[in-house]
Amino acid sequence: MGLFDYIVCEFPLPDGFTGELQTKDLGCALLTHVITNDGRLLLEHVDRIDDESEARFTSRRDANLHGMLKFYGSSGEHEASTREWHEYNAKFVDGQLVSIERDMSKAKWPYQQVRHRTRR
């Protein structure tokens, strides 16, 4: 386990995945980062929380990332053996997204093979 940051990807992912995403590449402080439709990585900053309604007022700040960002999520159900791992590598140059690729080497959930073992 451990800490991580959330990724909200407004930019379409190569396989169309739209589920919850996480990363351990950005400080692991339980913050939310957004990859926008126009390919920028923004940190979502909570400016204030209303005491009465608990509404969150946020702003976004450009991270101006230069380098690789790995992020991931999962879909399907473990019990139905349909669990699938979605891991991506995004490349940013001078703050601009230039590519997102899915790492297919980790697409199958590792517990599927173990799940069907029986005791002797």
pTM strictly above 0.85: no
Cβ(75)–Cβ(109) below 8 Å: no
Q: Check: CB of residue 59 under 8 Å from CB of residue 47.
A: yes
Question: Would you write out the chain's pLDDT as a tens digit for each of its 120 residues?
Answer: 578 999 999 999 999 999 899 999 998 888 899 999 999 999 988 888 888 888 888 889 999 999 999 999 988 776 767 778 899 999 999 999 999 999 888 666 554 444 444 444
Q: Are strands 67-75 and 96-102 parallel, antiparallel or unpaired?
A: unpaired
